[in-house]
């Protein structure tokens, strides 16, 4: 698990009572007490005045957070009508009662339904082509009654279709409890297993494998459970290297269960016949630093995506009986300009999810020797994802396509005829016309001549004389490409003349592994200077101006915003930062926290001198200084386990003590959620309305 929180410019962390202020408007912002906490390392002494805000539940901490909420509510109260208008607009574009595209798995079609006025989805199945045979497997609305938060983790039906294992998080802290439902009787079994992260069924539909978290929320053990057994579950594997997390999954063929151990740079995968759950596990390839791979099964072979001969991966084939590297036969070579992001294997064909020049592609190859080909895409900026492909014998590949102007669309691509069929497209109500809007791919020149891609969308006719307000988003971490998909909510910005741009900066994965490598560890500063170069490019080309430019990011994207706000506060008018990872140095020095040790391979280990000073050079909290800052809306959640609430709390407190301007600094804390904010879909829309009202007010 990474510090990933994708905003997609449409859904952010939850807010409490977003439409009305509940207390008299305080005229001055809260001031946090200074309680110096001194730390010396590598001969460097730092004083942390707000270390005390880590004491979750302490009356003084709670009082401070509540005061910040009250102040933000009061400051945003004048926008109540605008927020409601935005909310009503966004809801008005959504088909509230809807159903996802059904997908086949075994004897059933599976799908989920939403109903107008209900916060959560209902998970269902039916006999193929027979809507009247619907079975409700999981009604999240019923389960959420009386709970301010509910998140669904694993959701796996047994091979015979009788049992469902699922897990629920009731706080947002990613503590998932596994439960088992007998779908034949509708009854819940007595078993409850805490802290479950992943699950894979054996062929007998009586046995499953699962992983559990340690105290830092790192999945570290693999166990085996048999339904109804009174015996303790068998511990099959324990990962003691804290850089690695473990997972289990079943091959699409159904014949094998895989057990993987993964760090940010290295993989190791074992396998077991699904028909022999008590059998011996075997290894595909032994762990080797900086070697990443994943495995799929077909017949007597494994197909393996591996970066053993190049950072962007190649594909090889190996016999199941001798799967190690000495047996690997190349199917697809490594290519410097093409990143192989994923591999899907079926009985008669396989699919590569590739990325080239910043754009994703689907490459299809048949095992009968037919020439490989790509599925064509037409727009200049778009997103493509694998769909639900559960059937190993399928003749068609399901994928999802969307863009900044085209709603999410589910296609089935017939591999033999090379024809695609639209299965379902997300409806956009209210008269939305894609032709009214335009998207572009731009390139900015960063330090050293590096070309940085930018995705842009706007309403046709938007002026390019520097007068247009613009919202610029970015992420740039973990090799994760920033999605360029559709948003019902974004239309409300576009229709008000806002241009929306996405900076595909180094540290992300838009241009392959090299793009990630040159934006992490000792090269992390490139992420921030790239973002600044993108902003300057948009200004120089007349897309916007400094006083009309707002920026948005979340989690590690909040780190980005914090760093660039320190480096170039003059470049941005406003900042919307959600669950921001802004206290990087202190967090990476605390190995008791979730994610810390595993992320030494992303940021560096500050217990080592060089890494310490590299992180210190950009850490947003550490580098706050006496200077003017942009107007800011910063939001977090009390139960966030990926970026602890105290990071943005300390950041805001220190900003208030140092900034030399009168611009607004608002801090909202959801007291009942985690990293992703509120779990209900309508609550997310209210959050978005608050964010948009803030941006529109600042850029008016």
Is the pLDDT at 635 greater than 60? The verdict is yes
371: pLDDT confidence band, cut at 50, 70 and 90?
confident
4: pLDDT confidence band, cut at 50, 70 and 90?
low
H-helix or E-strand spanning residue 473: strand 470-474
For 99-142, write each residue's pLDDT tens digit. 999 999 999 999 999 999 999 999 999 999 899 999 999 999 99
For 198-230, write each residue's pLDDT tens digit. 999 999 999 999 999 999 999 999 999 999 998
Q: Architecture of 37-92+431-699 per CATH?
A: 3-Layer(aba) Sandwich (3.40)
Nearest Cα to 338, choosing from 117, 121, 509?
509
12: pLDDT confidence band, cut at 50, 70 and 90?
very low
Model pLDDT, residue 21: 31
Model pLDDT, residue 27: 64
For 460-472, write each residue's pLDDT tens digit. 999 999 999 999 9
Instruction: Give me the DSSP letters along 569-595.
Output: GGG-SEEEEES----HHHHHT-TTSTT
The percentage of residues in the chain with a pLDDT greater than 90, rounded to a whole number, is: 94
For 158-178, write each residue's pLDDT tens digit. 999 999 999 999 999 999 999
Cα–Cα distance between 86 and 130 in angstroms, integer? 39
For 298-335, write each residue's pLDDT tens digit. 999 999 999 999 999 999 999 999 999 999 999 999 99
Q: CB neighbours (10 Å) of residue 422?
A: 11
How far is Cα of residue 677 from the mean position of the Cα atoms in its chain? 12
Strands 234-238 and 219-226: antiparallel
H-helix or E-strand spanning residue 658: helix 646-658
pTM of the model: 0.95
Cα–Cα distance between 161 and 165 in angstroms, integer? 11
The sheet with strand 245-250 has its strands ordered as 245-250, 256-262, 267-273, 282-285
CATH number of 299-427: 2.130.10.120
3-state secondary structure of 187: coil
The percentage of residues in the chain with a pLDDT greater than 70, rounded to a whole number, is: 96
49: exposed, middle or buried (Cβ count in 10 Å: 0-12, 13-18, 19+): middle
* The domains spanning 37-92+431-699 and 299-427 adopt the same CATH topology: no
H-helix or E-strand spanning residue 618: helix 609-618
Model pLDDT, residue 1: 58
Cα–Cα distance between 164 and 166 in angstroms, integer? 6
Confirm if 364 and 397 have CB atoms less than 8 A apart: yes
For 396-415, write each residue's pLDDT tens digit. 999 999 999 999 999 999 99
DSSP state of 28: S
Average the pLDDT over each of 129-133, 252-256, 557-561 and give the range with the smallest value: 129-133
Average the pLDDT over each of 16-25, 158-167, 244-253 and give the range with the smallest value: 16-25
Domain definitions of the chain by residue range: 37-92+431-699, 299-427
As given in the structure block, the two tokens for residue 527 are 């992420």
**Taking the C-alpha atoms of 334, 338, 343 and 347 in order, what is their torsion angle to the nearest 10 degrees?**
-80
Write the CB contacts of 188 (distance below 8 Å, at least 6 apart in sequence): 179, 180, 181, 182
700: pLDDT confidence band, cut at 50, 70 and 90?
confident
DSSP state of 370: P
Write the CB contacts of 431 (distance below 8 Å, at least 6 apart in sequence): none
Model pLDDT, residue 8: 41
Phi-psi category of residue 655: left, alpha or beta, with phi > 0 → left and psi -120 to 50 → alpha: alpha
Model pLDDT, residue 10: 42
Model pLDDT, residue 370: 74
Cα–Cα distance between 603 and 616 in angstroms, integer? 11
Cα–Cα distance between 314 and 311 in angstroms, integer? 9
262: pLDDT confidence band, cut at 50, 70 and 90?
very high
Is the pLDDT at 15 greater than 50? The verdict is no
- Average pLDDT over the chain reads 95
Q: Indicate which residues carry an active-site annotation.
A: 555, 640, 675
H-helix or E-strand spanning residue 534: helix 525-540
Rg (CA), the chain: 25
What integer is the mean pLDDT of 617-633? 98
Confirm if 499 and 457 have CB atoms less than 8 A apart: yes
What integer is the mean pLDDT of 66-82? 97
């Amino acid at each position: 698990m990474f510090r990933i929180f994708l905003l997609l410019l449409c859904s952010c962390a939850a807010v409490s009572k977003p439409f009305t202020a509940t207390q008299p408007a305080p005229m001055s912002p809260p001031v946090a007490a200074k309680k110096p906490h001194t730390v010396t390392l590598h001969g460097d002494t730092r004083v942390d005045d707000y270390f005390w805000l880590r004491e979750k539940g302490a009356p003084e901490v709670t009082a401070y957070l509540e005061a910040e909420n009250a102040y933000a509510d009061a400051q945003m109260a004048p926008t109540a009508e605008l927020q409601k208008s935005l909310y009503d607009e966004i809801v008005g574009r959504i088909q509230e009662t809807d159903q996802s595209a059904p997908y086949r798995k075994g004897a059933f079609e599976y799908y989920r339904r939403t109903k107008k006025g209900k916060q959560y989805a209902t998970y269902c199945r039916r006999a193929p082509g027979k809507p009247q045979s619907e079975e409700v497997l999981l009604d999240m609305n019923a389960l959420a009654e009386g709970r301010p938060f509910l998140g669904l983790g694993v959701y796996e039906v047994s091979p015979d279709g009788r049992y469902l294992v699922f897990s629920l998080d009731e706080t947002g802290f990613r503590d998932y409890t596994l439960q088992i439902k007998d779908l034949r009787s509708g009854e819940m079994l007595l078993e409850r297993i805490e802290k479950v992260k992943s699950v894979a069924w054996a062929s007998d539909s009586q046995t499953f494998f699962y992983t559990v978290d340690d105290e830092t929320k790192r999945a570290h053990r693999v166990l085996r459970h048999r339904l109804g057994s009174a015996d303790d579950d068998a511990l099959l594997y324990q990962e003691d290297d804290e850089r690695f997390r473990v997972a289990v999954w079943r091959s699409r063929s159904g014949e094998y269960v895989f057990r993987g151990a993964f760090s940010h740079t290295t993989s190791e995968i074992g396998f077991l016949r699904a028909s022999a759950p008590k059998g011996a596990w075997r290894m595909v390839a032994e762990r080797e630093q900086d070697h990443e791979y994943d495995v799929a099964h077909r017949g007597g072979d494994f197909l393996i995506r591996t970066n053993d001969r190049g950072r962007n991966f190649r594909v090889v084939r190996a016999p199941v009986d001798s799967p190690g590297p000495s047996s690997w036969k190349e199917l697809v070579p490594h290519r410097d300009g093409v990143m192989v992001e994923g591999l899907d294997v079926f009985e008669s064909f396989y699919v590569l999810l590739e990325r080239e020049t910043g754009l994703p592609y689907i490459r299809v190859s048949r095992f009968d020797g037919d020439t490989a080909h790509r599925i064509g895409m037409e727009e200049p900026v778009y997103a493509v994802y694998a769909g639900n492909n559960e059937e190993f014998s399928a003749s068609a590949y399901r994928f999802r396509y969307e863009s900044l102007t085209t709603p999410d669309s589910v296609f089935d691509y017939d591999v033999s005829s090379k024809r695609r069929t639209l299965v379902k497209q997300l409806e956009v109500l209210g008269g939305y016309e894609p032709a009214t809007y335009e998207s572009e791919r731009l390139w900015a020149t960063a330090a050293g001549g590096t070309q940085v891609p930018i995705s842009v969308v706007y309403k046709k006719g938007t002026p390019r004389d520097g007068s247009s307000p613009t919202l610029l988003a970015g992420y740039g971490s973990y090799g994760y490409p920033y999605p360029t998909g559709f948003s019902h909510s974004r239309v409300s910005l576009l229709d008000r003349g806002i241009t929306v741009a996405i900076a595909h900066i180094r540290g992300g994965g838009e241009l392959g592994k090299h793009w990630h490598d040159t934006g992490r560890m000792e090269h992390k500063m490139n992420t921030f200077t790239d973002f600044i170069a993108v902003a300057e490019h948009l200004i120089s080309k007349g897309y916007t101006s400094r006083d009309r430019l707002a920026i948005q990011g979340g989690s590690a994207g909040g780190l980005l915003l914090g760093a660039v706000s320190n480096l170039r506060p003059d470049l941005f008018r406003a900042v919307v930062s959600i669950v921001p990872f802004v206290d990087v140095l202190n967090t990476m020095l605390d190995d008791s926290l979730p994610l810390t040790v595993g992320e030494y391979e992303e940021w560096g280990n500050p217990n080592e001198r060089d890494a310490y000073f590299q992180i210190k050079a950009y850490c947003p909290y550490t580098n706050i200084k006496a200077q003017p800052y942009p107007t800011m809306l910063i939001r977090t959640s009390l139960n966030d386990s990926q970026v602890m609430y105290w990071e943005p709390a300390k950041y805001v407190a220190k900003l208030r003590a140092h900034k030399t301007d009168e611009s607004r600094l608002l801090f909202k804390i959801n007291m009942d959620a985690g990293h992703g904010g509120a779990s209900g879909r309508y609550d997310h829309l209210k959050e978005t309305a608050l964010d948009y009202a803030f941006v529109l007010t600042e850029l008016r």
